[in-house]
Structure 1
Amino acid sequence: MKISYLLILLSLTLGTPSQIDVSEVRTAYIKASGDEQAVEQLNSKLISVTTTDDKVLVAYKGAVGTMMAKYAKGLKDKKSLFKEGVSLLDYAVTSDSLNVEIRCIRLSVQENAPKITGYKKNIDDDKAFILKNYNSMTDEGAKKFVKGYALRSKVFNDNERQLFQGL
């Protein structure tokens, strides 16, 4: 009896993926860049997300995992966290390859990944995919996220950024 009560209490405290608001995750992801405490908070929020959940949340969890690697102590932990994050992110892309937001999340990770990781091979493909499919996006929150990223990213040139300005 006590164990089942504790499990229920724990699940309510940690939250389940169905209770995670994607729009809050988007906002937190943007704010987390370069802020260790914000990265850790977002990681805690996404800890219960698994590959069976919404693939956008899986992509964010993977991206945050790669961000956690930056703050890990020791090369072994950095490498492990980064690989785990990449694995989740690539799984999300494979599972929903037509999702512009997921491709943008991967682009953001690859653009900012240290060269030593070798995780930069999809930059051109993801950029082209985003440029081609941005206008077909229906989720306004996701569209705003992608537009905001494209306007700040060094991957997109001035002419490409102008395509987002009028949208």
Structure 2
Amino acid sequence: MKYWIVFALLFHWSVSEAAGTEMQIRFAFHRIASENDLNVFISNCESSDWNKADLYKSVATMRKAEYVLSPLKKFEYFKLGKEAIEAFLKANPEDVEVRYLRLMVQNNLPKFLGYSSQMEEDRLFVTRNLESSNLPLDFQSLIRQNMKTIKA
């Protein structure tokens, strides 16, 4: 009987940990404050089996441009991230989280890169669909807070 209790507790812990991985990635992304944070975050995304970890890794890859001097390297990171985000969005056009992340990227990029034409569309989509999404309420709250910073 004791073994079943231990097994049940371990199973519950592993399921909770898997669910926590999603939230850990979601919230850790918003706490990246240094190049080291960024590298650790990307490593965590690479070791995650969550289906959106690659999306977050792509957005984080774009942020690597903040820490390099070469304009060519900056553009390379931008291009890699943009292509991955757009591919993920093409496969998931109604996903609020994907639209939110693209909006955050567009909001923080220089306009001369030409990656800002969907800002208003994404802002409206996220605003209209956030409440009915299946995103956890605490993450929805973070999204609402960040939406207030949009320059569009």
TM-score by length of 2: 0.76
Structure 2 distance, partners of 1:93, 1:20, is: 24
Which runs of 5 or more residues in structure 2 are unaligned? 1-17
Structure 2 distance, partners of 1:61, 1:20, is: 17
Structure 1 distance, partners of 2:99, 2:81, is: 15
Tell me if structure 2 keeps the 8 A contact 1:104–1:146: no
Match in the other structure for 1:15: none
Structure 1 residue runs of 4 or more that deviate by more than 3 Å after TM superposition: 47-50
Report the CA distance between 1:118 and its aligned residue: 1.6
Match in the other structure for 1:88: 84
Match in the other structure for 1:131: 127
Q: 1:105 to 1:40 in 2, by over 3 A?
A: same
Tell me if structure 1 keeps the 8 A contact 2:96–2:133: yes
Q: 1:58 to 1:27 in 2, by over 3 A?
A: same
User: What percentage of aligned pairs have identical amino acids?
Assistant: 22
Is the counterpart of residue 155 in structure 1 residue 150 in structure 2?
Answer: yes
Equivalent positions of 1:90-105 (< 5 A) are 90-105=86-101
Larger radius of gyration: 2
Match in the other structure for 2:21: 21
* Structure 1 residue matching 2:131: 3-state secondary structure: helix
Tell me if structure 2 keeps the 8 A contact 1:66–1:85: yes
Matched letter for residue 80 of structure 2? E
Equivalent positions of 1:4-153 (< 5 A) are 21-32=21-32, 34-47=33-46, 54=51, 56-140=52-136, 143-152=137-146, 153=148
TM-score by length of 1: 0.70
Match in the other structure for 2:15: none
* Structure 2 residue matching 1:31: 3-state secondary structure: coil
Match in the other structure for 1:11: none
Match in the other structure for 1:14: none
Report the CA distance between 1:49 and its aligned residue: 7.3
Report the CA distance between 1:37 and its aligned residue: 1.7
Report the CA distance between 1:108 and its aligned residue: 0.7
Structure 1 distance, partners of 2:100, 2:118, is: 11
Report the CA distance between 1:138 and its aligned residue: 2.0
Structure 1 distance, partners of 2:55, 2:20, is: 14
Q: 1:95 to 1:48 in 2, by over 3 A?
A: farther
Report the CA distance between 1:22 and its aligned residue: 1.7
